[in-house]
Amino acid sequence: VLVVAATSRKDILDPALLRPGRFDRQVRVDVPDKVGRQKILRVHARGRPLDEGISLDDWATRAVGFTGAQLKNLMNEGSMLAARRNASTINDQDLRLAFEKIVVGLRKDEDRRDDLTKRVVAYHETGHTLTGIYAAAHPNVSYVTIRPTTSGAGGFTLFEPMGDGEDQLPTRASLKDRMMVMLGGRAAELIIFGEDGTTPGASQDLAQAQDLAKSIVTRWGLSDIGPLGGMDGPQSPAMADMVEEECLKLVEEAQEMAVACLENHREELDMIAESLLKDETITGEQVLVQVGMKEAPEATKVPVEDPPLVVAAEESA
C-alpha cells in the first residue's frame, strides 16, 4: 500500500506523522523559477495568437512568485481581454492588465471619490514612488496610478523585479531601504497634511513594515540587539518586550528616513502628485524624466512593466 499526501502547512503537522516508516519520504514543491515559468508560459501560449512584440521570457521575469495556475490564469485573462476588444492577437497591454488583475485586482470603471481623497492618494503613492527611486537598493518603479481597484486599493505603485527576477540575497541596508519605501506613503501624508491629516491608508504599509522589522530582529539577527534567530515561538516577557522595542525602533527609523528623503525632494513630490491628479497613471520612465534623472523620450501613459512587488494605498485613503 502506497499512501501519498500533500499539504502547504508542514509546520503544523503532528511530528508522529513524519517518523520513519510513516510519511518519511518528503518532496518539496516550490513555485517555479524563471526557467520553469518560461516553460509553463510557452505551454499555455500554444494555440494563442500573440503579437510579435510579446516576449514570454520577459513575462517570466516579471511574474516572480507566480504558481503554474497563476501563469495559466495570466494567459487566459490576456486572451479574454483581447477578445473583448475584438482583436485577432493578444498584445502586451492585454497581458499587463491581466497581470494587474491577478496582483491587485481590476481597476474600477468609475472613480466617485472626492477631490481631497484623490489628492491624499496621489501624494501617498508619490511618496512610495519617490522613496523607491531615491533608495540605493530598491527595484525601479514600473508605474504608479491613483485609479481604485475592486480589491479595495485606492491606488498602487508597481516595481520592476531586480536582476533576472529571482530572489536576491538581501542586506541589512537593502531591507531598511525596503522598509523606507513601504512607509513612503505615510511619510508623504505627514509632510503634506500633518499628523492630524494622516489617514488609515497606510495601515497595510505599516503591517508590512512591522512584519519585516520582526524578521530582521528575530529571524535574521540583523538588528542592534544582537544575532538572534529562530525566535518565532514563545518568548519570555523580558525578551518579548526587547524585541517589540527594537521592531518599533526600526519602523520609526524607516519612517524618519522616508520623511527626510521626501523633504529633500519636496518639489518633485508636488510635481509627481500633480501629474497623477491630472493623468491618473504615469510610468516609471515618465517619473524619471520629470525628476531629471532621465532624458525625455516620447511620452506614453501606457504602463511599461508589471512587477510583483506592490505597495498599495487602501481605499480609505
Q: Residue 153: what are its φ and ψ, rounded to 5°? A: -75, 130
The mean per-residue pLDDT over the stretch 174-195 comes to 95
Are the C-beta atoms of 310 and 304 separated by less than 8 Å?
no
**Using CA atoms, how far apart are residues 134 and 157, in angstroms rounded to an integer?**
15
Which tens digits make up the pLDDT trace of 237-275? Answer: 888 899 999 999 999 999 999 999 999 999 999 999 999
What is residue 279's three-state secondary structure?
A: helix
Closest listed residue to residue 210, CA positions, set 241, 233, 183, 230: 183
Q: What confidence category does residue 13 fall into, taking pLDDT thresholds of 50, 70 and 90?
A: confident
Query: Is the confidence at residue 309, as pLDDT, over 60?
Result: no
Which residues are identified as catalytic?
Answer: 125
**Using CA atoms, how far apart are residues 265 and 272, in angstroms rounded to an integer?**
11
Query: Is the confidence at residue 154, as pLDDT, over 50?
Result: yes
What's the predicted TM-score (pTM) here? 0.79
Q: Residue 8: what are its φ and ψ, rounded to 5°? A: -105, 5
The pLDDT of residue 124 is 96
CA distances (Å), origin 13, targets 158, 198, 217, 219:
36, 43, 27, 22
The pLDDT of residue 27 is 87
Q: What confidence category does residue 163 fall into, taking pLDDT thresholds of 50, 70 and 90?
A: low
Q: What confidence category does residue 308 fall into, taking pLDDT thresholds of 50, 70 and 90?
A: very low
Location of C-alpha cell 532621465: 294
List beta partners, residue 153. Answer: 314
* Domains along the sequence of the chain with CATH: 34-104 (1.10.8.60), 115-314 (1.20.58.760)
Contacts of 220 (CB under 8 A, 6+ apart): 229
**Using CA atoms, how far apart are residues 138 and 133, in angstroms rounded to an integer?**
8
The pLDDT of residue 302 is 42
Are the C-beta atoms of 294 and 288 separated by less than 8 Å?
yes
For residues 93-122, one letter each, b for 16 or more C-beta atoms within 10 angstroms of the residue's C-beta and e for the rest, the string is bbbbbbbbbbbbbebeeeeebeeebbbbbb
Are the C-beta atoms of 134 and 109 separated by less than 8 Å?
no
Of 43-57, 210-224, 282-296, the range with the lowest mean pLDDT is 282-296
Of 113-117, 136-140, 198-202, the range with the lowest mean pLDDT is 136-140
Query: Is the confidence at residue 40, as pLDDT, over 60?
Result: yes
Contacts of 102 (CB under 8 A, 6+ apart): 66, 70, 73, 74, 77
CA distances (Å), origin 283, targets 18, 129, 279, 303:
50, 10, 11, 5
Contacts of 88 (CB under 8 A, 6+ apart): 49
Which tens digits make up the pLDDT trace of 172-182? Answer: 999 999 999 99
Q: Which three cell numbers stand for residue 226?
A: 544582537
The mean of the pLDDT values for the chain is 86
Query: Is the confidence at residue 307, as pLDDT, over 50?
Result: no
**Using CA atoms, how far apart are residues 120 and 247, in angstroms rounded to an integer?**
27
Are the C-beta atoms of 125 and 105 separated by less than 8 Å?
no
Which tens digits make up the pLDDT trace of 61-115? Answer: 888 889 999 999 999 999 999 999 999 999 988 998 899 889 888 888 888 899 9
Q: What confidence category does residue 317 fall into, taking pLDDT thresholds of 50, 70 and 90?
A: very low
Which tens digits make up the pLDDT trace of 202-246? Answer: 999 999 999 999 999 988 889 988 887 767 667 788 888 999 999
The pLDDT of residue 15 is 86
